[in-house]
Structure 1
Amino acid sequence: MLLKQLTEAMGPSGFEDEIRDVIWRRVKDSVDALYTDVLGSLITEKSTSSQGPKVMLDAHMDEVGLMIVHIEDSGLLRFRAVGGVDPRILVSKPVAIGADRIMGVIGAKPIHLQKPDERRQPLGFHQLYIDIGAVDKEDANRVVQPGDVAVFTTKYGEIGDNCAKGKSFDDRVGCGILTEVLQDSYALPLIGAFTVQEEVGLRGATAVAHRVQPDIAIALEGTICFDVVDAPGHGQGTILGHGPAFTVFDGLTIADKRFLDFMVSIAQKNDIPYQFRRVRGGSNDFGSIHQTRNGVVGGAISVPVRYIHAPAQIISLDDYQNSIRLVKAILHELAAGAWTDAAASSL
């Protein structure tokens, strides 16, 4: 299954080789051209000789992870975060290190040995380590070196009412949408960009946008979903199962209202449920893309992800499928000139 392959592949920021290979195999027979850039982003092209606006669909391949920075004499591994990882959720979590998937467990001082004031304080990275069962530093060095990266080991699985759990829906869910969308044909020039290093600064998307110079761009993302017990309405971000989410305002972007209204109208026309992302924090690759060269019109479509950036995350498969439907419908409308008509009427 596509989402299983995508979420279980390793690919923290700067180390996207494995996930890139998975995607390459999935899309190579559905596109006209396929290549990588210097940073490692995977770029696809379809129907580039067609008339119409050049559209770039973006999904970042990288996930948050951990990097080994020091090996203690005891053989325990010190690490730091690659991307936004909350240290409070890490204790006792299993991880896989490097291409050989060396297994380890994140440890800390047992609660039995903590002083009362220590128990009241959340653990920081300096209090955590990864235990791979090594007897000493020399033993650990045989299989792990500083600079190696680790990811969580959660397996993909479907649960509850058409939901799924996995380790890296941010943004393998966007990679899945883009992969599915590329299976169809569209009467316009289409660039599919699977980008690198989003979690550490939107770096891959910046380079790709400068290279391909799109007229329109849409970032496909997994986004904050905090719809659990006692979550205030304005702080929920999104709600699981309520459809793909449009970004209005985030840390780097204020949506182009004309294009936002256009995307909303396509959702309504096709009876696709949708919602608006209701928190300002964070951003996505469109925050970088829309600032390139003379500016790029477009926006972001996101799938709500509960427990985002955590070892185990949850999505609604209905939201995922509706996002695929929405993106395909938008592309067909763009090919038919609907956006040109909508933009002209708003002037």
Structure 2
Amino acid sequence: MLNTLKQLCALDGASGSEEQVRYFVTDRLSEMGLSYQEDALGSVIVEKKGARTPAQKRMVCAHMDEVALIVTDVDGEGYLRFDCVGGIDEKVLPGKAVRVNGLAGVIGAVPIHLQKAEEREGEIPLRQLRIDIGAASREEAAQRVQLGDIAYFDTPFTPLGEGRIAAKAIDDRAGVAILLALLKQPLQNDCTFVFTTQEEVGCRGAQAAAYTVAPDVALVLEATTAADNLGLPEGQRVCALGGGAVVGPMDRGTIYDRELLQLARRIAEERAIPIQQKQGVFGGNDAGQIHRSRGGVKTLALSVPCRNLHTASCVASAADIHAVYELAKGLIDAVD
């Protein structure tokens, strides 16, 4: 699964531009001999037969898109102005290496030596940042880049310590890798797998796919913020790397189904799967759209704890990814 994740994190796929990831997924599905359909928003829907057809139709999903930057203008000196695709903290951007149309670039800002005292203490407005692609003029830059082109973080997949990895786009290529691993396994129950699009800008792909699939029960495989490395009090860390799959009763978009949550805890205990309770009410994911589709869907998110979420270098644990895989498999196979 980690080798698949490494390949997925090397791909580029901003919201609405998920083609590379979608082609990777559909190639793997074809290798498995599985048929699939693509909807108008680019989500990939796969129906896999199990040993039986359950009373409640199951759907499991993960999103293919990642946060990125979009070129909005080119200034007179050839630098690229940009905006964010998805939620990115501007403070983490200066100095980061990016790629635009395969071209190397660096995000620049006013050097600290030239900043006023109040500028050093405050946040750097996005309008003051530029991407330098080595162009000497607007005309030269315009020959290489068009408005609307996407800039991606240029971060290699790197082993970090014992059993941990750092990379871009772990949110949610980890979930995509888990889905592909699950699809290789025999299942006790029929299940529909969905690789969704545009999660980072409003969970739009999941909304359309849930309407198409019309599930009774849905599992959302995600990455969630782990703030265990920031010196915060224990109750404010959300979750921790190495603590296992993350579950919780609610986030800012969804109140999760209590019966599913209890079932997840029971399966984790019976199978000795590491699991942890999400601390606090933070974030949101595709579940926010799925759970209110049609007449309503019983929904639960299973998340991989991830440090530095929505930055150039996310950090995750291989053991946590495996725990989410095992818990998802147990829930898919569970008797109604």
The interval holding the TM-score normalised by the smaller chain is over 0.9
1:209-260 deviation per Cα after TM superposition (whole angstroms, max 9, x unaligned): 0001112100000001000142122211111001000131100111211111
Structure 1 residue 49: deviation in Å? 9.6
Structure 1 runs of 4+ off > 6 angstroms? none
Structure 1 residue 32: deviation in Å? 3.4
What's 2:266 paired with?
265
Tell me if the contact between 2:290 and 2:299 (Cα under 8 Å) persists in the aligned partners: no
What's 2:275 paired with?
274
Tell me if the contact between 2:222 and 2:285 (Cα under 8 Å) persists in the aligned partners: yes
Alpha carbons of structure 1 residues 316 and 67: separation in structure 2 relative to 1, 3 Å: same
What's 1:203 paired with?
204
Structure 2, unaligned runs of 5 or more? none
Does structure 1 residue 41 correspond to structure 2 residue 43?
yes
Matched residue of 1:59: which SS? Answer: strand
Cα distance between partner residues in 1 of 2:207 and 2:43? 11
Q: Which moved more, 1:60-69 or 1:39-48?
A: 39-48
Cα distance between partner residues in 2 of 1:221 and 1:155? 21
Count how many residue pairs are aligned between Structure 1 and Structure 2. 333
Of 16, 29, 32, the residue aligned with 2:31 is: 29
Tell me if the contact between 2:51 and 2:187 (Cα under 8 Å) persists in the aligned partners: no
Aligned pairs for 1:1-347 within 5 A = 1-30=3-32, 32-47=34-49, 50-52=52-54, 53-98=56-101, 101-333=102-334, 337=335, 340=336
Identity over aligned pairs, percent: 38
Tell me if the contact between 2:62 and 2:195 (Cα under 8 Å) persists in the aligned partners: yes
Q: TM-score, normalising length from structure 2?
A: 0.96
Structure 1, unaligned runs of 5 or more? 341-347
Matched residue of 2:223: which SS? Answer: strand
Structure 1 residue 31: deviation in Å? 5.5
Structure 1 residue 50: deviation in Å? 4.3
Matched residue of 1:326: which SS? Answer: helix
Structure 1 residue 310: deviation in Å? 0.8
Cα distance between partner residues in 1 of 2:202 and 2:280? 19
Matched residue of 2:302: which SS? Answer: strand
Structure 1 residue 266: deviation in Å? 0.7
1:290-315 deviation per Cα after TM superposition (whole angstroms, max 9, x unaligned): 10011111201000000000110100
Q: Which moved more, 1:300-309 or 1:156-165?
A: 156-165
